[in-house]
């Protein structure tokens, strides 16, 4: 599967964004009664990052560049949230989706049970189900809420201890069952204060409408994902009628910024969420968002520029917490002041690569690991050690894919495609493709001095346990597949091909005719000929909007993607990293 993984259908609606206001002006005619202050602490895209993810938050360095601040780890996140929660007795902790799925090995190996338990300890109140919550299917997701040890996947549940389920509530306002009801509740109300000073905060939790294109169809059979803006706008009056004084949307969809990274701004932001915000009722006060893994905070114009929406996202993997402060007038039943900031969960320094070190800084608070959460993580890390540390092959150098903004698979994508081709040769495979967004953070394989890699290192870049599927496509269908890289129905991504295959593209040409050339072993593809093509079962099911793969015939099911990669890396001497150019961007440069 894929990242952003499987990202949504980008409409890319760029909007000018207003600067973040320290607090909105008090509306005219408001009550003189002191407002009730409520804190919303938001995270998103945690992805089971229980251990320190060896990631940094980049912030402006004051000299026109950016500096890294090491951050993340569930035990440090717990302390950061405790620190912020202590500042206000009126608080909620929410997650904007992808709390689980595409997780670290220490969580994924145990079906993300340890992440749910960690969030119980941290005190999460609500999680809006994102696309990755559905990675193992809706039945397994329901088990995450309810607990129990019923087996829905190839892995056995409750391997370490009985699983009691989430103490927090999943929300899924636009995830509809065949009868029109929601898979989980769509909304919730929390009250703060008492008597005449009581205020109610209404929450709406939902995922992106394109979730059905980002997960295996079999796992969401019978579910539909409704339009985000329509779902929110329908829920707001119901919450208001139930007494909500403030409306907070927690949505697994987002935007991306440009320029120097700044988690406190929305510089040149654009993306799917922009179009949704433009359609929202003005009664929405706050939108806590996610999915893009970008960090931002700002006042967004929305439908009415005079009544902007406070928009925020906390990046990914628990490296940030968005601290949202609301001032609510209980007499006027409305928000009269608000602010937000992204707080860095500064943990321990680390070496991202030999000769480099991401050091701590006194510019931001440092958080200690909370002992109970640290002990919980350590228990599962110990249980996973045998799997994570065992040797899993060698490689003759570093193989790398770019970060979240990179739509190519780099040398790592080529390496994986080669592994999948070799693993399915018995099924007649001539070509294999790896989707770049299926390669996860840290997006690289960096071997030790002897070229050795561990299973844990392989798992970090390929955590989905997808199954390989080999099928027959015509040359014309093969070309159509490549055109779907750039057809506007999903994020542009350049499928990484296996050795011997090459293609070139020109994005200045019209959609549907952007592929300039396609060759196999140096010969042009014959539109009428048949070719055996290998992909993951996720792509073969139409994932990432590659619908042409649904037309393939004579399917043969193979091994898992990670087993294929491990088998490929058993070569002696160490397997070299592919360096040849297999894809060419011929788009004219300005």
pTM confidence score = 0.81
Q: Looking at the structure, do residues 264 and 303 belong to the same domain, yes or no?
A: yes
pLDDT at 13 over 70: no
Q: Looking at the structure, do residues 400 and 254 belong to the same domain, yes or no?
A: no
* 447-462: pLDDT as tens digits: 988 899 999 999 989 9
Q: Looking at the structure, do residues 67 and 208 belong to the same domain, yes or no?
A: yes
Q: Looking at the structure, do residues 306 and 427 belong to the same domain, yes or no?
A: no
Q: Looking at the structure, do residues 416 and 499 belong to the same domain, yes or no?
A: yes
Token pair of 213 as six digits = 């294109």
* 269-280: pLDDT as tens digits: 999 999 999 999
Q: Looking at the structure, do residues 321 and 394 belong to the same domain, yes or no?
A: no
Question: Of 376, 400, 433, which residue is a domain's last?
Answer: 376
Q: Give the pLDDT mean for 308-337.
A: 97
Q: Give the pLDDT mean for 288-305.
A: 93
Q: State the average pLDDT for the chain.
A: 91
Residue with the larger pLDDT of the pair 65 and 238 = 238
Does 463 map to a domain? yes
Tell how far CA 111 is from the center of its chain.
17
* Residue 310 belongs to domain spanning: 36-376
Does 303 map to a domain? yes
Does 384 map to a domain? no
Is the Cβ–Cβ distance between 314 and 28 less than 8 Å? Answer: no
Please report, for residues 126, 261, 450, the alpha-carbon distance to residue 584 in angstroms, rounded to integers and kept in the order given.
45, 29, 33
- 494-510 burial, b if ≥16 CB within 10 A, otherwise e? bbbbbbbbbbbbbeeee
- Asked which of 100-104, 188-192, 293-297 is least confident by mean pLDDT, the reply is 100-104
Residue 19 banded pLDDT, cuts 50, 70, 90: very low
CATH assignment of the domain containing 394: 3.90.780.10
Q: Looking at the structure, do residues 580 and 461 belong to the same domain, yes or no?
A: yes
Residue 18 banded pLDDT, cuts 50, 70, 90: very low
Share of residues in the chain with pLDDT > 70 (%)? 93
530 exposure class (CB count in 10 Å sphere: 0-12, 13-18, 19+): middle
The C-alpha atoms of residue 312 and residue 300 are separated, in whole angstroms, by: 10
Look at residue 22 in the predicted model and tell me its pLDDT. Answer: 33
pLDDT at 84 over 50: yes
The continuous run of DSSP H or E covering 482 comes out as helix 475-483
What pairs with residue 536 in β-bridges? 468
Look at residue 405 in the predicted model and tell me its pLDDT. Answer: 63
Residue 345 banded pLDDT, cuts 50, 70, 90: very high
Residue 121 DSSP SS3: helix
Does 395 map to a domain? yes
pLDDT at 31 over 80: no
């Amino acid at each position: 599967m894929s990242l952003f993984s499987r990202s949504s259908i980008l409409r890319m609606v760029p909007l000018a964004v207003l600067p973040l206001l320290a607090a909105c002006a008090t509306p005219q005619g408001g009550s003189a009664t002191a407002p009730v202050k409520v804190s919303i602490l938001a995270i998103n895209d945690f992805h089971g990052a229980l251990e320190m993810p060896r990631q940094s938050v980049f912030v402006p360095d004051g000299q026109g560049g950016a500096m890294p601040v090491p951050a993340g780890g569930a035990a440090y996140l717990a302390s950061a949230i405790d620190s912020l929660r202590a500042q206000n007795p009126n608080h909620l902790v929410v997650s904007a989706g992808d709390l689980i799925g595409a997780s670290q090995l220490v969580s994924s190996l145990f079906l993300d049970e340890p992440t749910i338990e960690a969030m119980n300890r941290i005190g999460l109140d609500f999680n809006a189900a994102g696309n990755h919550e559905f990675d193992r299917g809706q039945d397994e997701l329901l088990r995450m809420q309810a607990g129990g040890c019923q087996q829905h996947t190839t892995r056995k549940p409750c391997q370490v201890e009985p699983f009691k389920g989430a103490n927090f509530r999943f929300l899924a306002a636009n995830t509809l069952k065949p009868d029109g009801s929601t898979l989980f509740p769509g909304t919730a109300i929390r009250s703060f204060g008492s008597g005449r000073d009581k205020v109610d905060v209404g929450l709406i939790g939902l995922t992106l409408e394109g979730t059905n294109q980002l997960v295996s169809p079999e796992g969401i059979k019978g579910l539909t994902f409704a339009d985000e803006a329509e779902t929110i706008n329908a829920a707001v009056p119901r919450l208001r009628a139930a007494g909500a004084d403030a409306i907070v949307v927690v949505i697994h969809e987002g935007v991306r910024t440009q320029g120097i990274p700044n988690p406190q701004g929305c510089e040149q932001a654009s993306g799917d969420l922009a179009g949704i915000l433009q359609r929202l009722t003005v009664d929405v006060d706050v939108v806590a968002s996610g999915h893009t893994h970008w960090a931002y905070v700002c006042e967004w114009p929305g439908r009415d520029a005079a009544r902007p929406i406070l928009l925020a996202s906390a990046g990914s993997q628990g490296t940030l917490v968005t601290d949202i402060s609301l001032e609510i007038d209980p007499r006027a039943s409305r928000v009269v002041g608000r602010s937000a900031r992204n707080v860095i969960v500064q943990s321990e320094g680390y070496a991202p690569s030999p000769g480099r070190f991401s050091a701590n800084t006194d510019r931001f608070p440092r958080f200690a690991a909370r002992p109970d959460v640290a002990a919980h993580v350590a228990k599962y890390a110990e249980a996973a050690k045998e799997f994570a540390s065992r040797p899993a092959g060698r490689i003759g150098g570093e193989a790398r894919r770019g970060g979240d903004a990179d739509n190519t698979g780099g040398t790592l994508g080529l390496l994986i495609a080669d592994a999948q081709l070799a693993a399915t040769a018995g099924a007649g495979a001539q070509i294999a493709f790896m989707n770049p967004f299926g390669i996860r953070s840290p997006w690289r394989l960096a071997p030790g001095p002897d070229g050795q890699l561990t299973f844990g290192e392989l798992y970090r870049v390929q955590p989905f346990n997808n199954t390989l599927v080999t099928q027959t496509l015509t040359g014309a269908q093969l070309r159509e597949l490549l055109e779907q890289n750039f057809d506007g129905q999903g994020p542009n991504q350049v499928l990484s091909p296996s050795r011997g295959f090459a293609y070139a593209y020109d994005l200045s040409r019209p959609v549907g005719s952007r592929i300039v050339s396609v060759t196999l072993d140096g010969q042009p593809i014959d539109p009428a000929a048949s070719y055996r093509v290998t992909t993951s079962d996720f792509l073969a099911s139409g994932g990432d909007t590659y619908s042409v793969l649904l037309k393939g015939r004579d399917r043969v099911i193979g091994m898992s993607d990670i087993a294929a990669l491990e088998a490929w890396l058993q070569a002696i001497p160490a397997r070299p990293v592919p360096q040849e150019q297999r894809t060419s961007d011929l788009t004219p440069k300005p």
